[in-house]
Every structure is written in C-alpha cells, then in structure tokens.
C-alpha cells in the first residue's frame, strides 16, 4: 500500500510540479537523516518526488491527527512528534535510522513566513547521534512564491504563477553525526541555496529585456515622479521616451560605454535605460568626487561620450567633461515625433517583438551591464563591472525580501553612481513595477520629507549620516506613511536608531552591502504580517545590532583574516561571500581582482560573525582596525565609546579614529574631531569607562569637519591624509 501511494503521489505531483533534482546519487545506502528547508505545505511531497527512496517524515502530532490526513500518514509510516512525547519520537526516528531507513525532519520546526532560513533547532542532532547515522542537508528552491507559501501574507488562495511549477531540489554531501552542528548545517544550507539560485534561468536574461517586460506591465501606472518639479511619467511613456533616446545614442555614441552625469530624477532614469537599450554600458560618474578621481574613472572606463544637461554643466564648472557631451535639453525636443510613434508601439506590441526590433537580446548573463566605481574611500577608485546576472539576481533578492506591493512608493534620492541608488532606486522599480519618487540631493532633508508626506512614500532607503538630518529637520507627521526604513553604507549607531524610534515611531532597519555585490547582501526586515495586516507569531525577522539575514541565494564563510583558514559561522573572522550578485572582477585590474576573488568567493574585507538564528553581525572593516602591539584594535568601537563618554549628539558625525604608522608599536591612533576635546579629560573618561590603554587615542587633531563622501561614509583616504599630516 505504501509503494502504491508513493507511485500515485509522484504521478499526481508531476502534473503540478516540474522537479529538477541534483545530487540524488549522494544519498547513502543505509540510514540517513534528511534535513530540508521548510517553505510550503507541500515540501514533503516535492521532497519525496526528488528522493528515490521512501522517506519517513516526522510530523507534528496535531497535523498527524487530522482526520483527512491521518490515514495517509499511517500508510507512509510517518512519525508523530509533540512537545509532550518528544523522547518517544526521537527514539522511533533513531530506531528507523538504525534499520537503514531514510528519515526526514524539518530542522526549522515551522514554515518560513519571509522566504529566508529560520533558526535551526537541535532535535536532529540527538536523533542522528543516537543512531550514529549521517545527516544530509537538502535544499528546496523556488517554492517560495508558490500557492502553498506565505508570500503575499497568506497561504493558499493565490493563483499559481505557472503549471507545472518549476522546483529545484539539491542534496548535499552527507555530514557525520558528530560534525553536524548548527553552524555547519547552516553553512551547508547557504551553499546549497546559492547553487540552486544560480540555476534560475531568469538571471541569464538581458537587463534591457527585463526592463521592457517590466515597464509594459501595468503601463499606465506612474513609473517615476520627479520631485524637483512634480512631473510624472507613466511606465509605458517612460519606456517610449527611453527607446527614442536609445536610437539617438546608438547613432551618436560608438564606444562600448557611455558616461552619465545626472542626479537622481526623471532624466537620469531615462538616460540609463536608453543607454542599456542601445546596447551600451551606462557609467554614472560621481560628480561629487575630486577631479583626479573622476579623471581616473574616465581613463579606466575609456569614456568619450557623456549624457548630461546644460544645467548640470553650469553647476559643475570644474568637472573634467569628456570630449562629446549629449545635452538632453538639445536632444529631446527633436525626438518628440519618434516618442509618440514608440508610445503607440509600446501600447500594442508584445515585449519580445519590441526587443527584437530594438536589437535587445534575450540573454545578457555574464556580459557587462553596468560599470560603477568604488567611492575611493581608501585609494584610487576601482571599476566594478556588474553583469546582467549580477543586477537581475540582486533585484530578485531584494524583491523577495521586501515583498513590496504595486501600490508601494519608494523614495529615490541616493545618487545613481552609488551602488544602492543604482540597483534599488533605479533598476528595481523599473523591473518590479514599484513607483519611484526622485530627488537629486539626499542632504536637502526638508525637501525630501515634504516629498515623503506628499506622495505617501512607504519605502525609504538612506544612510545613518543622512538619517541624522531628519531628527533635526523633519516632523513626525511627514514620515507617517513610511512602513520601511533601511539604512546601509555605514554602521547604524544604536543610539541613533533608538532616538529615531522615539521621535518618529519608526524602527530603522539596518542592511549591509558592497558595490561588488550589486550591492545588497543582507537586511533586517519587519516581522511578517498576514494579508489582513495582522502580525504573524513567528521567529523574528530583525535583530538589533545585526545587519539581518543573508539575501536568498547567497552563501557565506567565515575565514581567519590572516591565514584564510575556514572558521565556524559563529566565530569572528573575515566574511567571504558567493552568489549570483557577486561581481567577477575589477575592470582592467587583474591584480586587485585576484586579491579579493578566490574560486568564486569574494573576500569582503569586513569582519563579522553569524548568530544561531542566522543574523549577521559586522564587527568592523579590516581597514578600520589597527594592529597595535600585536593586538587588533577596532576604530568603530573606540568612536562609539568616545561619543558615549563625551555625550556627543547622534545627529551628526563629529569624530573619526585613524591609524597612522608608529615606530614603537606598529600603529598609533589619532582622533580627528570637529569639536574641541581636551586630551587629558578624554583619557580619564575612557579609562574610567574601562577602555584598554592600547585603545586610547595617542593624539587629538582638531578639524573643521570630518571628511565624508557623497554617500555619507567616511572619506578614509582624506582622513588618513589629515592624521598623517598632524603627526608629521
């Protein structure tokens, strides 16, 4: 009867699911404990379809006893488990394993409500060790978003996206019972998830093709509102304007890359999309950087053409403009007839036909899509080549984590030369259908707050530096509509988040990303809610002090920063990352690429660890540590302690710690301060606070202002120059 039911289940399952199986040959012949992730109510069915051997599942007792299901569970010999009879279930599972059977337990103990991996519970360890059998992690991919997942705040009651629905199942290498601790299993899960995520065909598409498809959906909805003049463009009209401009760019810009010097706004969005549709690579240049940095970027990128406006050129008289500049005020009026024609075409033509006419290929995959330059905070800027795969996967990762609705509105005031501004406030809204309200300057707090209030913005991405301005210049009613505030680029001070919560009643959620990861790596999320807005009692989706859980499809390792030896995820060390959103190298710079890339892993240069629930904690950047007398001394921890003992305000950056060469101890600490601070007084307070002598700054240098980049991050290069000049 069991065999008949399994055969029937597989036949019915194949009508609704197309399961792509990897690593089934790794299932050992004897007893083995399967550990899958848990996304939907049908995970057990899909897993049995993928596994060539019958599986005995551990099932919660209250589900086991459901009248319509109990006879099925009895036939397949499922093992009921409850808190009251946990020992009996463990004993039964261990006996089955000892007889050479395949037993499965979902180690998270509950369904994911966010699509991310939850905390792993330790019951599986006892079962495996009692039987002396290995455990086998299994990853079920793409089930998040299916009818039986919680995407959209509800199980069931959704239309299926496809029938049969594609699912990937990957089996790992068995882990001996004695080695299968929580950290090891989580690391294996992350690597399996990354393997499966890379298999998704959508990431091989072309960025331009994905934008065309995205903008044609719901094409009369507003795509972008320019906050400078409140002009708006619908999604279909935006696509038509960009197509018309792309034909002009194709004729006038023969080189592979085209520079764009425009602030966030309607013009900047159109220009970027037009360049991609023309088959070129957009390069948004940092117009706030110094002349030498911009010239280096133009040389590295081989940039000869630039799209800008006369107004921007007038405001940047010292900018080293390339030889050919396309001024939008001059170009666009002549394109009006073409725009009208393309608007009609967008209205009636399917996306595939439009792309064929435009010459936009379906496949972009690992080809260069966008070129960004690092901020140059610690040296000459590096050209970060982001591929179509990088950007499309990161858009998908961000979309999965946030699960925004079509009526949500995003404030886009971060510059497009900033990696977060590029992916999250430029490409993400175009592809996913979220309305964007743009403004060219994140420092104009009052103006941005007015836009948030006027357009009922729900998602607001910022940096802690910019966020401090809202404490001084914004009113609580202006941020009333905001449901999600995400910060990145620098560490979020606990005091700042607490003060912000007290003033505005809004929790500030910290994320983490790098230009080289396209950029989103992880983010804290609000706890999930059901479709009717009620909170769902599950494990937390955010944790104070952390930068959240990894984005779907990302794998991580923790390595010793000096030897490169692999550590437990729960130990502190350098974070190594792998995923479809990780770049493949710096432009024309194999030496520096080789320093940070190894066998597909990206060495971030950041130090951190994971807790048992999978939340990532950043403990500092390696470049923001000094090695003094053989001890690693963290700059950010000292800055936090100095701010605490001196009661410095949290709404502005007033201090920075810098390490400079020292003949006696290798390095010495210099405190740059925008306020007058007495050396002896500070030393006494730090000693009283329990700070080690090695951590106390050797010198205090008064500066007019602590150097910052346009992103709000410390300008480490300039800080070091000031500190070294101070010590001679």
Structural domains of the chain ordered from first start: 2-196 (3.40.1130.10), 235-362 (3.40.50.980), 629-727 (3.30.300.30)
Range 686-690 average pLDDT: 83
Range 394-404 average pLDDT: 86
Give the range with max mean pLDDT: 49-58, 218-227, 282-291, 479-488: 218-227
**Whether pLDDT at 535 is above 80:** no
Classify burial at 110, counting beta carbons within 10 Å of its beta carbon; exposed 0-12, middle 13-18, buried 19 or more. Answer: middle
**Whether pLDDT at 635 is above 70:** yes
SS3 call for 494: helix
Classify burial at 643, counting beta carbons within 10 Å of its beta carbon; exposed 0-12, middle 13-18, buried 19 or more. Answer: middle
How distant, in Å, are the alpha carbons of 301, 339, 516, 587, 597 from that of 373? 9, 32, 10, 10, 17
Q: What is the pLDDT of residue 568?
A: 94
Read off the pLDDT of residues 450-459 as tens digits, 9 standing for 90 and up: 999 999 999 8
**Whether pLDDT at 378 is above 60:** no
**Whether pLDDT at 32 is above 60:** yes
Range 76-83 average pLDDT: 72
Pairing status of strand 32-36 against strand 17-22: unpaired
CB atoms under 10 Å from CB of 34, counted, come to 23
Q: What is the pLDDT of residue 687?
A: 82
DSSP 507: P
**Whether pLDDT at 159 is above 90:** no
| Contact in structure between 382 and 368 (CB atoms under 8 Å) | no
Percentage of the residues of the chain whose pLDDT score is greater than 70? 88
Read off the pLDDT of residues 548-585 as tens digits, 9 standing for 90 and up: 999 999 999 999 888 889 999 999 899 999 999 999 99
Cis before 164? omega within 30: yes
258: left (phi over 0), alpha (psi -120 to 50) or beta: beta
User: Distance between alpha carbon 283 and the CA centroid of its chain, in Å?
Assistant: 21
Q: What is the pLDDT of residue 63?
A: 65
Q: What is the pLDDT of residue 64?
A: 58
**Between 599 and 7, residue with greater pLDDT:** 599
Contacts of 426 (CB under 8 A, 6+ apart): 268, 269, 272, 412, 416
66/319 Cα distance (integer angstroms): 71
| Contact in structure between 167 and 18 (CB atoms under 8 Å) | yes
Range 327-351 average pLDDT: 93
The beta strand positions in 219-341, using DSSP E, are 222-226, 231-234, 257-260, 281-284, 305-308, 324-327
| Contact in structure between 513 and 424 (CB atoms under 8 Å) | no
Q: What is the pLDDT of residue 3?
A: 60
Q: What share of the chain is helix, strand, coil (3-state, %, to 5)?
A: 40, 25, 40
Pairing status of strand 281-284 against strand 435-438: unpaired
What mean pLDDT is reported for the chain?
A: 85
- For 85-130, the three-class secondary structure string (H helix, E strand, C coil) is HHHHHHHHHHHHHHCCCEEECCCCCCCCCCCCCCCCCCHHHHHHHH
SS3 call for 661: strand
**Whether pLDDT at 434 is above 60:** yes
10/379 Cα distance (integer angstroms): 58
CB atoms under 10 Å from CB of 161, counted, come to 12
574/148 Cα distance (integer angstroms): 38
Q: What is the pLDDT of residue 396?
A: 92
Q: What is the pLDDT of residue 640?
A: 83
pLDDT bracket for residue 619 (50, 70, 90): confident
How distant, in Å, are the alpha carbons of 242, 512, 629 from that of 624? 42, 16, 16
SS3 call for 543: coil
């Amino acid at each position: 009867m069991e065999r008949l039911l399994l055969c029937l289940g597989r036949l019915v399952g194949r009508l609704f699911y197309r399961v792509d199986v990897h690593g089934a040959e790794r299932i050992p012949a004897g007893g083995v404990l399967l550990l899958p992730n848990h996304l939907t109510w049908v995970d057990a069915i899909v897993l049995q379809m993928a596994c060539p051997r019958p599986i005995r599942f551990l099932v919660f007792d209250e589900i086991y006893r459901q009248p319509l299901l109990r006879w099925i569970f009895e036939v397949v010999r499922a093992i009921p488990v409850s808190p009251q009879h946990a020992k009996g279930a463990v004993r039964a599972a261990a006996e089955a394993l000892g007889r050479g059977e395949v037993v499965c337990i979902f180690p998270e103990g509950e369904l994911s409500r966010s699509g991310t991996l939850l905390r792993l519970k330790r019951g599986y360890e006892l079962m495996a060790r009692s039987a002396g059998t290995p455990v086998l992690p299994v990853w079920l991919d793409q089930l998040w978003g299916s009818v039986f997942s919680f995407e959209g705040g509800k199980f069931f009651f959704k239309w299926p996206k496809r029938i049969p629905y594609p699912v990937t199942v990957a089996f790992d290498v068995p882990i001996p019972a004695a080695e299968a601790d929580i950290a090891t299993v989580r690391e294996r899960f992350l690597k399996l998830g990354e393997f499966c995520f890379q298999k998704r065909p959508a990431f091989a598409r072309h960025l331009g093709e994905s934008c065309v498809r995205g903008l044609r959906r719901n094409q009369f909805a507003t795509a972008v509102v320019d906050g400078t003049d409140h002009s708006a463009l619908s999604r279909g009209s935006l696509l038509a304007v960009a197509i018309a401009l792309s034909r002009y760019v194709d004729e006038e810009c023969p080189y592979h890359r085209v520079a764009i010097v425009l602030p966030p706004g309607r013009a900047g969005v159109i220009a970027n999309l037009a360049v991609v549709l023309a088959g070129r690579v957009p390069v948004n240049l940092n117009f706030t950087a110094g002349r030498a940095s911009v010239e280096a970027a133009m040389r590295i990128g081989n940039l000869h053409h630039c799209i800008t406006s006369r107004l921007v050129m007038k405001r940047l008289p010292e900018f080293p403009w390339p030889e050919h500049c396309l001024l939008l005020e001059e170009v666009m009026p002549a394109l009006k007839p073409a725009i009208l024609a393309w608007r009609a075409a967008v209205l009636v033509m399917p996306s595939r036909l439009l792309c064929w006419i435009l010459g936009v290929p379906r496949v972009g995959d690992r080809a260069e899509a966008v070129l960004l330059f690092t901020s140059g905070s610690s040296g000459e800027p590096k050209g970060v080549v982001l591929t179509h795969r990088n950007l499309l996967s990161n858009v998908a990762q961000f979309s999965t984590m946030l699960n925004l609705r079509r009526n949500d509105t995003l404030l886009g005031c971060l510059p497009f030369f900033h990696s977060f501004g590029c992916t999250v406030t430029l490409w993400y809204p175009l592809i996913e259908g979220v309305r964007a309200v743009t403004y060219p300057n994140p420092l104009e707090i009052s103006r941005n707050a007015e836009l948030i209030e006027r357009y009922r913005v729900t998602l607001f991405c910022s940096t802690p530096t910019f966020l401090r301005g809202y404490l001084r210049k914004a009113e609580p009613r202006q941020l009333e509509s905001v449901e999600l505030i995400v910060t990145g680029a620098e560490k979020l001070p606990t005091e700042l988040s607490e003060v912000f919560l007290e003033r505005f009643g809004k929790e500030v959620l910290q994320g983490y990303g790098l230009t080289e990861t396209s950029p989103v790596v992880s983010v804290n999320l609000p706890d999930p809610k059901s479709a009717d807005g009620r909170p769902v009692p599950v494990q937390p989706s955010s944790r104070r002090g952390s930068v959240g859980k990894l984005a779907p499809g990302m794998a991580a390792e923790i390595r010793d920063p000096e030897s490169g030896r692999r550590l437990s995820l729960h130990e502190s060390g350098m974070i190594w990352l792998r995923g479809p959103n990780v770049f493949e190298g710096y432009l024309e710079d194999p030496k520096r690429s080789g320093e940070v890339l190894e066998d597909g892993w990206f060495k971030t240069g950041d130090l951190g660890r994971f807790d048992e629930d999978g939340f990532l904690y950043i403990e500092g950047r390696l470049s923001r540590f000094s090695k003094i007398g053989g001890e690693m001394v963290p700059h950010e921890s000292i800055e936090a302690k100095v701010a605490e003992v001196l009661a410095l305000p949290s709404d502005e950056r007033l201090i920075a710690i810098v390490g400079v060469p020292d003949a006696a101890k290798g390095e010495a600490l210099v405190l740059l301060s925008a306020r007058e601070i007495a050396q002896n007084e500070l030393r006494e307070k730090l000693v009283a606070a329990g700070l080690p002598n090695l951590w106390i700054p050797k010198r205090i240098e008064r500066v007019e202002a602590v150097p910052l980049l346009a992103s709000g991050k410390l300008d480490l290069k300039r800080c070091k120059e000031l500190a070294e000049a101070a010590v001679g």
